[in-house]
């Protein structure tokens, strides 16, 4: 075990093991016979007890004892002493089993069942548990059992907190005691019978955990509890809307293109847009439920709000509705004003049950531009090339920038309602304390905690993400950790990616460095699509999508991405470049299924299909593999792809997309049969792997 060679067993030990195994087999055979024939004699129960003392993990044997107890209780009738004697015997058997294995799930569950019958002394049980915890104070089974007893005894949270504090005082390294304390405080905050606030409950906890950390900085228990405290301190009670697309006050201008007798197409920022499914996106600062037509009203439109949650949950940070602007064609000569109001009716709730904050009104206009000559003439479809010469760094108009990068302007009353002075002061004090600790000794976990605190301070000071004061220091800390702790380098790199994204989206000046106009052959001088280029940044994780809701072209090539979770928020996205990343399966691309405007996709030079069973797919919270039945069409799916191990993930992904251009070359899955499969499953494809399809 753990790289150590196994020593040969001594002859005398081997003989003892063989005798024990033979005894176990005889007891097991006898028990199964009694169980099958429903024999509950005294001798049968004694044999069962011996079996459980040897092997407490035998769940069937514990279930047999429950049936036997019910049998004897029924025989005892209304004799309370006889009934108590039956349950006392069960407690004795469990105690003997726990001496053999103090961490036996079956034994602890059986003891809970006995006590729940209501015929045993709970006070005596609590005294016995105290003795057991003296032998092993960190046993999580015993702590779980204590919570069960405290509930039955109706012990106050204060008394239990005092007990955990005593246990922590004996041993700072008692992780189970810290965990029990966090559960008690959560219960106290949730029930809130005494009217205590987060400040009242959590303030003393920082002092307690700092004593543990500063006394023994090498022990992880206190650090984990401190991380939990930061999370509780940062929790915003009422949810707020951090961004939307279209943003409030935006004026969207779309142009009409004639299409040789067919129904007209519309163009926004040089890319086609479907007026029948015009997206409206709401992005909250935390997952919320209850977004519906009664809580978010859209004037003159009947809409259905849908959560964009990777786990198919009813709660999500991102909600989308699709307006049918084509239905307004007869009134489309002038601007269409769309207005929606959020939170005027109650019903939007966070996961903790907090209602949405102050109501908010968002309005935008959509204006049709006159038909232009170049639009009337039309053009042949052209393949989108992501080469550098096709992008120009002309000065981006502020109006264009404000439409494509969507913020809800920070309102003083919103900030005051969600952020308290206690939160900011607490985080500031913790930052100062950990700076002092790191000045004494260089602790890896201390650096990580300081980085988290600095990010928390930025989040509290600028809840709408419009500034980042500590990003340079956080990056320095995380890069040092990547070098000194290479085992967890991937974790640090993901945080570095989020800080980099925070930096480049925190101001117009920073963002402009990554915005380029695309100048394909078929783009007019008036209508040049805008592309956000985040390539060659070594990004291993994506985030900050609430700031990029209106982006239509996105270049993420030459990064380290294994997942694109969250990209579903970018409902306007039409062209996406994910080439030269580390995407390991089609499951990692599941968010693309929510992007109805996506036409151009480049996933070339990734790692898709490198392994017959790609275990990395389970790192991502994707329902793609489980929530739909695959119906194989023999006319579409190649005969050698009938096995789910070949193309079924690609089938599930691409069958719902309407791509006109796709690049997959450079992946292990790429071969001639796969190309044929893609052409059949996506009849809308015009270009595949750089070649025009006939």
- In this structure, the answer to whether residues 39 and 21 fall within a common structural domain is yes
pLDDT of residue 466: 65
Closest CA to 647 of 636, 663, 662, 659: 636
Closest CA to 361 of 338, 379, 382: 338
Residue 328 counted as domain residue: yes
Query: Are 668 and 693 in contact, with CB atoms under 8 Å apart?
Result: no
Strands (E), 172-309: 241-245, 251-259, 262-268, 271-273, 278-289, 296-298, 306-307
* Residue that is last in its domain, among 203, 234, 265: 234
* Residue that is last in its domain, among 197, 212, 234: 234
Query: Are 279 and 320 in contact, with CB atoms under 8 Å apart?
Result: yes
Coil, strand or helix at 360: strand
pLDDT of residue 278: 87
- In this structure, the answer to whether residues 277 and 215 fall within a common structural domain is no
User: Residue 264: which CATH number?
Assistant: 2.60.40
Residue 326 counted as domain residue: yes
Residue 264 counted as domain residue: yes
- In this structure, the answer to whether residues 119 and 28 fall within a common structural domain is yes
- In this structure, the answer to whether residues 149 and 39 fall within a common structural domain is yes
Regions of the chain with pLDDT less than 70: 1-14, 192-196, 236, 256-266, 269-270, 310-312, 327-334, 370-381, 396-419, 463-466, 520-527, 611-646
Measured CA to CA, the distance from residue 582 to residue 559 in angstroms comes to 8
Overall domain count for the chain: 2
User: Residue 171: which CATH number?
Assistant: 1.25.40.120
Residue 322 counted as domain residue: yes
Residue 317 counted as domain residue: yes
Helix (H) or strand (E) holding 436: helix 421-440
- In this structure, the answer to whether residues 250 and 224 fall within a common structural domain is no
* Residue that is last in its domain, among 194, 217, 234: 234
Residue 627 counted as domain residue: no
Residues in the chain: 694
- In this structure, the answer to whether residues 164 and 274 fall within a common structural domain is no
Domain that holds residue 94: 15-234
How much is the pTM? Answer: 0.81
- In this structure, the answer to whether residues 88 and 42 fall within a common structural domain is yes
Residue 487 counted as domain residue: no
Measured CA to CA, the distance from residue 225 to residue 488 in angstroms comes to 20
pLDDT of residue 455: 92
Which tokens hold the place of 394?
């002309």
Which tokens hold the place of 538?
């070594």
pLDDT of residue 69: 93
Closest CA to 33 of 69, 60, 8: 60
Could you tell me which residues come within 8 angstroms of residue 487 by beta carbon, excluding any fewer than 6 positions away?
none
pLDDT of residue 622: 46
- In this structure, the answer to whether residues 85 and 102 fall within a common structural domain is yes
Residue 624 counted as domain residue: no
- In this structure, the answer to whether residues 76 and 106 fall within a common structural domain is yes
- In this structure, the answer to whether residues 229 and 126 fall within a common structural domain is yes
- In this structure, the answer to whether residues 269 and 154 fall within a common structural domain is no
- In this structure, the answer to whether residues 31 and 168 fall within a common structural domain is yes
Measured CA to CA, the distance from residue 622 to residue 625 in angstroms comes to 7
């Amino acid at each position: 075990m753990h790289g150590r060679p196994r020593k040969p067993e001594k002859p005398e030990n081997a003989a003892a093991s063989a005798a024990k195994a033979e005894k176990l087999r005889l007891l097991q055979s006898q028990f199964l016979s009694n169980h099958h024939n429903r024999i509950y004699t005294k001798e049968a129960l004694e044999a069962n007890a011996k079996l459980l003392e040897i092997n407490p993990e035998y769940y069937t044997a514990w279930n047999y004892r429950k049936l036997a107890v019910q049998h004897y209780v029924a025989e005892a009738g209304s004799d309370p002493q006889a009934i108590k004697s039956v349950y006392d015997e069960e407690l004795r058997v469990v105690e003997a089993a726990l001496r053999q294995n103090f961490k036996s799930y079956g034994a602890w569950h059986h003891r809970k069942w006995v006590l729940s019958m209501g015929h045993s002394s709970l006070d005596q049980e609590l005294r016995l548990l105290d003795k057991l915890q003296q032998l092993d104070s960190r046993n999580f089974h015993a702590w779980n059992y204590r919570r069960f007893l405290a509930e039955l005894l109706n012990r106050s949270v204060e008394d239990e907190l005092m007990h955990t504090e005593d246990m922590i005082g004996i041993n700072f390294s008692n992780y189970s005691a810290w965990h029990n304390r966090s559960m008690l405080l959560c219960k106290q905050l949730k029930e809130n019978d005494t009217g205590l606030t987060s400040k009242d409950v959590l303030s003393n906890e920082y002092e307690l955990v700092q004593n543990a950390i500063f006394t023994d900085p090498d022990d992880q228990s206190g650090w984990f509890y401190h991380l939990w405290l930061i999370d509780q301190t940062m929790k915003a009670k009422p949810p707020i809307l951090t961004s939307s697309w279209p943003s409030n006050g935006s004026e969207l201008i779309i142009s009409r293109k004639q299409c040789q007798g067919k129904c007209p197409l519309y163009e926004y920022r040089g890319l086609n847009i479907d007026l029948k499914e015009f997206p409206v996106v709401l992005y909250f600062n935390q997952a919320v439920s209850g977004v519906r037509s009664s809580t978010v009203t859209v004037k003159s439109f009947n809409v259905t709000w849908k959560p964009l949650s990777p786990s198919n949950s009813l709660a999500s940070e991102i909600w989308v509705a699709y307006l049918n602007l084509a239905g307004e064609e007869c009134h489309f000569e002038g601007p269409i004003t769309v207005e929606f109001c959020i939170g005027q009716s109650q019903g939007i709730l966070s996961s903790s049950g907090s209602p949405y904050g102050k109501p908010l009104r968002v309005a935008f206009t959509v204006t049709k531009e006159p038909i232009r000559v170049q639009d009337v003439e039309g053009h042949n479809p052209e393949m989108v090339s992501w080469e550098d010469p096709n992008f120009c760094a002309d000065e981006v108009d502020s109006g264009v920038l404000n439409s494509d990068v969507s913020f809800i302007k920070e309102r003083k009353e919103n900030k005051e309602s969600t952020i308290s002075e206690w939160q900011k002061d607490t985080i500031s004090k913790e930052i100062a304390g950990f700076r002092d600790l790191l000045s004494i000794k260089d602790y890896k976990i201390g650096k990580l905690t300081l980085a988290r605190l600095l990010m928390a301070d930025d989040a509290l000071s600028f809840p709408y993400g419009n500034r980042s004061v500590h990003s340079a220091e956080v990056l320095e800390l995380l890069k040092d950790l990547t070098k000194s702790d290479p085992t967890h380098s991937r974790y640090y790199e993901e945080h570095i990616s989020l800080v980099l994204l925070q930096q480049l989206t925190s101001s117009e000046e920073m963002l402009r460095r990554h915005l380029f106009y695309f100048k394909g052959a078929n783009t007019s001088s008036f209508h040049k699509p805008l592309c956000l280029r985040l390539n060659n940044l070594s990004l291993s994780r994506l985030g900050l999508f609430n700031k990029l809701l209106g982006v239509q072209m996105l270049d993420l090539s030459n990064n380290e991405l294994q997942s694109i979770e969250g990209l579903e928020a970018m409902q306007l996205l039409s062209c996406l470049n994910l080439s030269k990343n580390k995407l390991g399966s089609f499951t990692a691309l599941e968010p693309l299924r929510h992007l109805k405007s996506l036409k151009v996709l480049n996933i070339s030079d990734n790692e898709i299909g490198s392994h017959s069973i790609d275990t990395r797919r389970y790192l991502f919270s994707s329902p793609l593999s489980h929530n739909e039945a695959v119906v194989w069409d023999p006319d579409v799916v190649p005969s050698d792809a009938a096995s789910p191990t070949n193309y079924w993930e690609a089938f599930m992904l691409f069958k719902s997309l309407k791509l006109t251009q796709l690049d997959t070359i450079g992946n292990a899955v790429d071969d001639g049969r796969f190309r044929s499969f893609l052409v059949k499953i996506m009849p809308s494809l015009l270009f595949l792997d750089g070649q025009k399809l006939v």
